[in-house]
């Protein structure tokens, strides 16, 4: 299956909120015609309503190349029956819905359907996301390649060894942006507590986290080495890291507990 199949057979987007819209914008910018896209969304945005040639809440094609499932997990029970007739055929199903295992899709769409589960994160909205994917036994290498090509429209893509890794991925990169946003909040509040104006403290925190993340991605050195590079012996950074790296009360055990809590909750959601 290729991008030409998408143009000729069509792509169905089931749900088009922030994540779906971010992906759709990426595909359109890469040359996918709006007329090759069907969007099924009960509350379409003004942007969707303004797209010429888009098939919005129209009858679905009989044999679309891909159905991308981007509805919220609590809406899945109402949404999936609308596409059940497309199952057990040539259509590839790609889900970006958190907490819904492949087996749940197979139960409704049929166990012969090629299904790929994906976990993106919110920086996809600015094409800086990272998405992890895994497929069922019916998802061929070609299916995985096409899904990866599509999802690269909103950032990096990694392939998992299996669905058993998805809960950990959810806890690290799926929920991870919230941890970083909270870090920015707390850094700004700490700066304010040391006498900085609130707006300046927030600007410093945002730019520091964004710049450090960009440096970590661009550098050949490991994050550990980058940390060492900025830490002078007995200096200000060393004093702060002595607190943050405390094995009992510092950042490592705290974040380990937080990520475990997120992974455990992901398992609970998948098991109903």
Angle among Cα 130, 133, 137 to the nearest 5 degrees reads 175
- Residue 242 confidence (pLDDT): 97
Q: What is the pTM of this model?
A: 0.90
**Position 2 pLDDT exceeds 70:** no
Distance, in Å, from the CA atom of 1 to the CA atom of 93, rounded to the nearest integer, reads 13
Cα(12)–Cα(119) distance, integer angstroms: 18
Write out pLDDT tens, residues 80-89: 888 999 999 9
221 contacts: CB under 8 Å, gap ≥ 6:
229
pLDDT of amino acid 178:
96
Question: Residue 69 forms beta bridges with which residues?
Answer: 14, 95
Is residue 207 scored above 90 in pLDDT?
yes
Q: What is the pLDDT of residues 93-111, one digit of tens each?
A: 999 988 889 999 999 999 9
Q: What is the pLDDT of residue 1?
A: 61
Q: Give mean pLDDT, residues 178-185.
A: 98
| Span 125-172, pLDDT tens digits | 888 999 999 999 999 999 999 999 989 988 999 999 999 999 999 999
**Best CA proximity match to 254, nearest among 239, 267, 266, 243:** 243
How does the average pLDDT of the chain come out, rounded? Answer: 93
Average pLDDT over residues 12-25: 89
Reported confidence tier of residue 27, pLDDT bands at 50, 70, 90: confident
Residue 13: strand pairing partners: 39, 68
- Residue 29 pLDDT: 84
Structure tokens at 107: 């139960």
Q: What is the pLDDT of residue 129?
A: 93
| Complete domains list, the chain, with CATH | 3-169 (3.40.50.720), 176-270 (1.10.3730.10)
Residue that wins the pLDDT comparison between 45 and 31: 45
Is residue 6's pLDDT more than 90?
no
Residue 133: its H or E element: strand 129-135
């Amino acid at each position: 299956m290729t991008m030409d199949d998408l143009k000729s057979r069509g792509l169905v987007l089931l749900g088009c909120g922030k994540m779906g819209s971010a992906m759709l914008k990426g595909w359109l910018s890469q040359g996918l015609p709006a007329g090759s896209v069907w969007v099924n969304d009960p509350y379409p945005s003004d942007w969707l309503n303004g797209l010429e040639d888009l098939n919005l809440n129209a009858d679905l094609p009989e044999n679309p190349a891909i159905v991308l499932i981007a509805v919220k997990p609590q809406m899945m029970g109402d949404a999936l029956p609308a596409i059940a007739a497309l199952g057990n055929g040539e259509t590839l199903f790609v889900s970006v819905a958190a907490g819904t295992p492949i087996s749940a899709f197979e139960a409704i769409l049929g166990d012969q359907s090629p299904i790929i589960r994906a976990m993106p994160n919110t920086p996809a909205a600015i094409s800086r996301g990272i998405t992890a994917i895994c497929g069922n036994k019916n998802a061929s290498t070609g299916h995985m390649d096409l899904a990866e090509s599509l999802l690269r429209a909103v950032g990096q893509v990694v392939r998992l060894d299996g669905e058993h890794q998805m809960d950990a991925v959810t806890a690290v990169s799926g929920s991870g942006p919230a941890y970083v946003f909270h870090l920015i909040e707390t850094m700004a509040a700490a700066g304010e507590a040391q006498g900085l104006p609130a707006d300046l403290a927030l600007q410093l925190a945002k730019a520091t986290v964004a710049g450090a993340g960009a440096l970590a991605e661009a550098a050949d050195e490991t994050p550990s080495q980058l940390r060492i590079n900025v830490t002078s012996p007995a200096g200000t950074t060393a004093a702060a890291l002595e607190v943050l790296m405390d094995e009992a009360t510092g950042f490592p055990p705290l974040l380990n507990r937080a990520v475990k809590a997120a992974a455990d909750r992901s398992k609970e959601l998948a098991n109903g």
